[in-house]
Amino acid sequence: MIMTNDQNSFFANKVQEIHTNLLGEVIQSSDTIFELEKGANIFELHPFFESMQQELTSGHDNSLAFPCVQLDIDDRVIICDITIKKQREFLAILLFDYSTHYEHLHAAAHEKKTALLNEQAHDLSLKHNEERKEYSELVRESLKNKIIGQLEDVLLDTQKLCKTDLSKEQQILVTDIERTITDLHRKAKQIRDSLEINFN
Protein backbone atom coordinates (compact mmCIF):
# COMPACT_ATOMS: atom_id res chain seq x y z
CA MET A 1 0.00 0.00 0.00
CA ILE A 2 1.31 3.46 -0.86
CA MET A 3 0.75 6.29 1.60
CA THR A 4 -0.50 9.65 0.44
CA ASN A 5 1.78 12.67 0.65
CA ASP A 6 -0.17 13.99 3.65
CA GLN A 7 0.27 10.71 5.49
CA ASN A 8 3.92 10.57 4.56
CA SER A 9 4.64 13.97 5.97
CA PHE A 10 2.57 13.73 9.18
CA PHE A 11 5.29 12.24 11.38
CA ALA A 12 8.13 13.48 9.22
CA ASN A 13 7.20 17.06 10.14
CA LYS A 14 7.23 16.25 13.83
CA VAL A 15 10.53 14.44 14.08
CA GLN A 16 13.96 16.01 13.94
CA GLU A 17 17.17 14.05 13.92
CA ILE A 18 20.39 15.79 14.84
CA HIS A 19 23.89 14.36 14.76
CA THR A 20 26.74 16.09 16.58
CA ASN A 21 30.32 15.21 17.33
CA LEU A 22 31.29 14.58 20.94
CA LEU A 23 32.00 18.29 21.41
CA GLY A 24 28.36 18.95 20.61
CA GLU A 25 29.00 20.53 17.18
CA VAL A 26 26.20 19.82 14.74
CA ILE A 27 27.30 17.55 11.89
CA GLN A 28 23.89 17.19 10.34
CA SER A 29 20.29 18.00 11.18
CA SER A 30 17.00 17.33 9.45
CA ASP A 31 15.86 20.83 10.60
CA THR A 32 12.23 19.76 10.76
CA ILE A 33 11.47 21.62 13.99
CA PHE A 34 14.43 23.93 14.62
CA GLU A 35 16.89 25.17 12.04
CA LEU A 36 20.42 24.41 13.10
CA GLU A 37 23.55 25.52 11.32
CA LYS A 38 26.30 23.02 10.71
CA GLY A 39 28.96 23.56 13.39
CA ALA A 40 26.53 25.17 15.85
CA ASN A 41 26.98 23.81 19.34
CA ILE A 42 24.05 21.81 20.68
CA PHE A 43 25.12 22.53 24.26
CA GLU A 44 24.50 26.23 23.61
CA LEU A 45 21.14 25.64 21.95
CA HIS A 46 19.13 25.18 25.16
CA PRO A 47 19.86 24.71 28.88
CA PHE A 48 18.46 21.19 28.55
CA PHE A 49 21.42 20.16 26.43
CA GLU A 50 23.87 22.27 28.43
CA SER A 51 22.94 20.48 31.63
CA MET A 52 23.51 17.13 29.90
CA GLN A 53 26.94 18.10 28.60
CA GLN A 54 29.04 16.30 31.19
CA GLU A 55 26.94 13.17 30.94
CA LEU A 56 27.17 13.11 27.14
CA THR A 57 30.82 14.02 26.76
CA SER A 58 32.16 11.53 29.26
CA GLY A 59 31.44 7.96 30.17
CA HIS A 60 30.28 5.06 28.11
CA ASP A 61 27.97 4.70 25.15
CA ASN A 62 24.58 5.47 26.42
CA SER A 63 20.98 5.89 25.43
CA LEU A 64 18.76 8.32 27.28
CA ALA A 65 15.08 9.11 26.91
CA PHE A 66 13.37 12.23 28.21
CA PRO A 67 9.62 12.43 27.76
CA CYS A 68 7.69 15.69 27.78
CA VAL A 69 10.44 18.29 27.75
CA GLN A 70 9.42 21.90 27.18
CA LEU A 71 11.92 23.47 24.79
CA ASP A 72 11.82 27.19 24.09
CA ILE A 73 14.16 28.02 21.26
CA ASP A 74 14.08 31.15 19.07
CA ASP A 75 10.74 32.31 20.52
CA ARG A 76 9.16 28.94 19.78
CA VAL A 77 8.01 26.60 22.52
CA ILE A 78 7.50 22.96 21.76
CA ILE A 79 6.87 20.03 24.07
CA CYS A 80 8.78 17.06 22.87
CA ASP A 81 10.12 13.67 23.73
CA ILE A 82 13.89 13.57 23.37
CA THR A 83 16.03 10.52 22.80
CA ILE A 84 19.79 10.82 22.87
CA LYS A 85 22.00 8.00 21.73
CA LYS A 86 25.66 8.36 22.53
CA GLN A 87 27.92 6.47 20.15
CA ARG A 88 31.69 6.17 20.12
CA GLU A 89 32.10 8.98 17.60
CA PHE A 90 28.95 11.04 17.73
CA LEU A 91 25.68 11.86 19.44
CA ALA A 92 22.39 11.08 17.73
CA ILE A 93 19.54 13.21 19.03
CA LEU A 94 15.92 12.65 18.15
CA LEU A 95 13.27 15.26 18.91
CA PHE A 96 9.66 14.20 18.61
CA ASP A 97 7.27 17.15 18.71
CA TYR A 98 4.34 16.06 20.87
CA SER A 99 3.07 19.59 21.58
CA THR A 100 -0.53 18.99 20.50
CA HIS A 101 -0.79 15.73 22.41
CA TYR A 102 0.70 17.21 25.56
CA GLU A 103 -1.41 20.37 25.38
CA HIS A 104 -4.53 18.21 25.56
CA LEU A 105 -3.00 16.34 28.47
CA HIS A 106 -2.19 19.65 30.13
CA ALA A 107 -5.84 20.69 30.24
CA ALA A 108 -6.83 17.33 31.70
CA ALA A 109 -3.98 17.43 34.24
CA HIS A 110 -4.99 20.94 35.26
CA GLU A 111 -8.56 19.87 35.85
CA LYS A 112 -7.56 16.76 37.78
CA LYS A 113 -5.00 18.49 40.00
CA THR A 114 -7.26 21.46 40.71
CA ALA A 115 -9.99 19.03 41.79
CA LEU A 116 -7.51 17.18 44.02
CA LEU A 117 -6.37 20.44 45.59
CA ASN A 118 -9.97 21.49 46.24
CA GLU A 119 -10.68 18.12 47.81
CA GLN A 120 -7.63 18.43 50.07
CA ALA A 121 -8.66 21.98 51.03
CA HIS A 122 -12.15 20.74 51.89
CA ASP A 123 -10.78 17.86 54.01
CA LEU A 124 -8.40 20.21 55.80
CA SER A 125 -11.19 22.69 56.46
CA LEU A 126 -13.38 19.93 57.96
CA LYS A 127 -10.50 18.70 60.11
CA HIS A 128 -9.72 22.23 61.20
CA ASN A 129 -13.33 22.85 62.28
CA GLU A 130 -13.39 19.56 64.15
CA GLU A 131 -10.18 20.39 65.98
CA ARG A 132 -11.45 23.89 66.83
CA LYS A 133 -14.59 22.37 68.27
CA GLU A 134 -12.61 19.86 70.35
CA TYR A 135 -10.33 22.61 71.57
CA SER A 136 -13.23 24.87 72.52
CA GLU A 137 -14.74 22.02 74.55
CA LEU A 138 -11.42 21.58 76.30
CA VAL A 139 -11.18 25.29 77.11
CA ARG A 140 -14.80 25.41 78.31
CA GLU A 141 -14.28 22.41 80.56
CA SER A 142 -11.13 23.97 81.92
CA LEU A 143 -12.91 27.28 82.54
CA LYS A 144 -15.75 25.52 84.28
CA ASN A 145 -13.66 23.24 86.50
CA LYS A 146 -10.60 25.31 87.21
CA ILE A 147 -11.90 28.89 87.25
CA ILE A 148 -15.68 29.16 87.57
CA GLY A 149 -15.92 26.29 90.06
CA GLN A 150 -13.08 27.66 92.19
CA LEU A 151 -14.59 31.15 92.18
CA GLU A 152 -17.94 29.71 93.29
CA ASP A 153 -16.16 27.98 96.19
CA VAL A 154 -14.56 31.26 97.22
CA LEU A 155 -17.94 33.01 97.02
CA LEU A 156 -19.45 30.38 99.30
CA ASP A 157 -16.60 30.90 101.73
CA THR A 158 -17.04 34.69 101.77
CA GLN A 159 -20.77 34.23 102.40
CA LYS A 160 -19.92 31.99 105.38
CA LEU A 161 -17.43 34.57 106.60
CA CYS A 162 -20.09 37.31 106.45
CA LYS A 163 -22.18 35.32 108.93
CA THR A 164 -19.39 35.36 111.50
CA ASP A 165 -18.54 38.09 113.96
CA LEU A 166 -16.30 40.32 111.82
CA SER A 167 -14.85 43.69 112.68
CA LYS A 168 -15.83 46.71 110.58
CA GLU A 169 -12.52 46.58 108.64
CA GLN A 170 -12.88 42.81 108.08
CA GLN A 171 -16.46 43.26 106.80
CA ILE A 172 -15.27 45.89 104.33
CA LEU A 173 -12.48 43.56 103.12
CA VAL A 174 -14.78 40.52 102.74
CA THR A 175 -17.39 42.61 100.90
CA ASP A 176 -14.67 43.89 98.59
CA ILE A 177 -13.42 40.31 97.95
CA GLU A 178 -17.00 39.15 97.33
CA ARG A 179 -17.59 41.96 94.82
CA THR A 180 -14.34 41.24 93.00
CA ILE A 181 -14.97 37.48 92.89
CA THR A 182 -18.54 38.02 91.68
CA ASP A 183 -17.21 40.24 88.90
CA LEU A 184 -14.53 37.65 87.92
CA HIS A 185 -17.15 34.88 88.05
CA ARG A 186 -19.43 36.86 85.72
CA LYS A 187 -16.56 37.52 83.26
CA ALA A 188 -15.40 33.88 83.27
CA LYS A 189 -18.96 32.77 82.48
CA GLN A 190 -19.12 35.37 79.72
CA ILE A 191 -15.94 33.92 78.18
CA ARG A 192 -17.32 30.38 78.46
CA ASP A 193 -20.62 31.41 76.82
CA SER A 194 -18.92 33.35 74.05
CA LEU A 195 -16.78 30.27 73.24
CA GLU A 196 -20.00 28.33 72.89
CA ILE A 197 -21.32 30.90 70.43
CA ASN A 198 -18.06 31.09 68.42
CA PHE A 199 -17.40 27.40 68.03
CA ASN A 200 -20.78 25.67 67.91
Q: Is 93:84 a contact under the CB 8 Å cutoff?
A: yes
- Restricting to residues 28-47, which ones interact with other proteins according to CB under 8 A? 43, 46-47
H or E element at residue 95: strand 90-97
Helix (H, G, I), strand (E, B) or coil at 28: strand
96 touching other proteins, by CB under 8 A: no
Q: How far apart are CA 128 and CA 132, in angstroms?
A: 6
Helix (H, G, I), strand (E, B) or coil at 30: coil
186 touching other proteins, by CB under 8 A: no
Residue choice 23, 105, 156, 162 for contact with other proteins (CB under 8 A): 105
- Restricting to residues 58-77, which ones interact with other proteins according to CB under 8 A? 64-70
Size (the chain), residues: 200
Pattern of binders to other proteins over 116-155, x per CB under 8 A?
A: xx--x---x-------------------------------
- CB of 83: closest distance to other proteins in angstroms? 10
Give the orientation angle of helix 149-162 with respect to helix 168-199, to 10 degrees: 160
Q: What is the DSSP letter of 52?
A: T
For other proteins, the closer CB: 34 or 48: 48
23 touching other proteins, by CB under 8 A: no
Helix (H, G, I), strand (E, B) or coil at 4: coil
102 touching other proteins, by CB under 8 A: yes
- Contact set with other proteins (CB under 8 A): 43, 46-48, 50-55, 64-70, 79, 102, 105-106, 109-110, 113-114, 116-117, 120, 124
